Structure 1
């Protein structure tokens, strides 16, 4: 069969295990129903019936709070190759809004379609569950940074975590990566005003810590930032020792994805 080597989801999953042809075929089925979404378009609205998960095949999306009593907050960022809605599978209705941050492509996948994942591809199910777990750990570290750090380190931690997540998605390697956020949106993600975000970014640039060529940022002193912020990369050490065995040939690994 023909495997879509351009799939960000396959690329992301293959960083942790070598996928079989059958597992890749199942992932391809999750991405079969493609829908283009423009920047600012809601993928999910609060109160929508939860019908399944959605693969973000391309583009970026954010989860926004829906409080009418204050400014909107960005609670989570979704990157290309991530599966939106896994954490919400236990709820019958959406509790937060998901909005496209950039133009992109989404692939909705119904709940009933997930049954073969657990029955026929248990290792793939374990991998998706583990990635969802690491996402939750990363969110806790982000929440802790917001509660315990000063403004400069909050912003540094956010950029460090964004870089590490882009590396997992194979859409951002090294210290230079895309940040398609306005300063207002960065402020919504770290709990600051856009004016303060602007002040801090200028300070980082002036001190030689950061280089900005919109929409790209380059961390010039990443190791120093990681030490100062006590940064924890939640995606660096996944435990795959408990994963069920899989039988099959034609495994797809990182080397194959570079072809």
Structure 2
């Protein structure tokens, strides 16, 4: 609710529907698999608290982090059209997940069209951010990859109302950061030490503070995908009670 409220002012009824999404709370511990490859995709999941990652494993036993989920984000929107999971999702920290069945999403489209448009747009911005990340991995040098990863993490935390400006939590080991940006842990350690010595970053585990964010954004031509949402096409918010009364009136007239 906090994340979505950054883009539109939610009505009471939209807030009630979101609260329904988060009604079934299930605690998960760090390292626990939320979804495994081949599991049926029964719906979506709200990551109410904590962090999670999407992982892929290579044939030689290595892991790659394909995506990071932050508090308040919805997991499973990209897979809504598939009957089975293609990647595994693992808790990066302790947290709480709220599963919501796919069949329960029908009222979202019929009774809360503006909220449906908002979730669709947020999912679109997430996909744009993932494309920027993929482009970064394929075109930038090692320092650029790490800078881009931290810049994008900061911008997404701001949207989630979790970050503290340029100081934010990074609950990843250097091995895991390497899995996210395609570098070895040794190289990640070397780059972080260089950034600290250059006065560009401050590290106080598990927090990091970007001291040269503007410079980094120029260095990697960073584009913040989450400040450019177009809400002009969104339908008006609807009170479901008005819809119900309209349906009753139509039924009575017929």
1:247 Cα offset (Å)? 4.1
- The two structures have a TM-score, normalised by structure 1, of 0.91
1:68 Cα offset (Å)? 2.7
Aligned residues: 239
Q: For the residues of structure 1 that align with 2:121 and 2:147, how far apart are their CA atoms? A: 26
Aligned position for 2:193: 202
Q: After superposition, give the CA deviation of every residue in 1:202-225 in whole Å (9 maximum; x if it has no partner).
A: 000000000000000000000000
Q: Matches of residues 207-246 of structure 1 in structure 2 within 5 Å? A: 207-246=198-237
Larger Rg: 2
Q: 3-state SS of the aligned residue for 1:81?
A: coil
Q: Which residue of 81, 97, 117 corresponds with 2:72? A: 81
Aligned position for 1:111: 102
1:173 aligns with 2:151: no
1:237 Cα offset (Å)? 1.3
1:21 aligns with 2:12: yes
Long gaps (5+) in structure 2: 240-254
1:70 Cα offset (Å)? 4.6
| Structure of higher RCO (CA pairs closer than 8 Å, 6+ residues apart) | 1
Aligned position for 2:118: 127
Q: 3-state SS of the aligned residue for 1:55?
A: strand
Q: For the residues of structure 2 that align with 1:173 and 1:209, how far apart are their CA atoms? A: 17
Q: Which runs of 4+ in 1 moved over 2 A?
A: 66-70
Q: For the residues of structure 2 that align with 1:119 and 1:173, how far apart are their CA atoms? A: 37
Root-mean-square deviation (CA, aligned residues, Å) is: 0.8
Q: Do the aligned partners of 2:156 and 2:226 also contact (CA within 8 Å) in 1? A: yes
Aligned position for 2:147: 156
Q: Do the aligned partners of 1:72 and 1:188 also contact (CA within 8 Å) in 2? A: yes
1:246 Cα offset (Å)? 1.2
Range that drifts further, 119-128 or 66-75:
66-75
Q: Matches of residues 42-53 of structure 1 in structure 2 within 5 Å? A: 42-53=33-44
Long gaps (5+) in structure 1: 1-9, 249-259
Q: Do the aligned partners of 1:66 and 1:96 also contact (CA within 8 Å) in 2? A: no
Q: 3-state SS of the aligned residue for 1:116?
A: helix
Q: For the residues of structure 2 that align with 1:29 and 1:218, how far apart are their CA atoms? A: 36
Q: Do the aligned partners of 2:112 and 2:238 also contact (CA within 8 Å) in 1? A: no
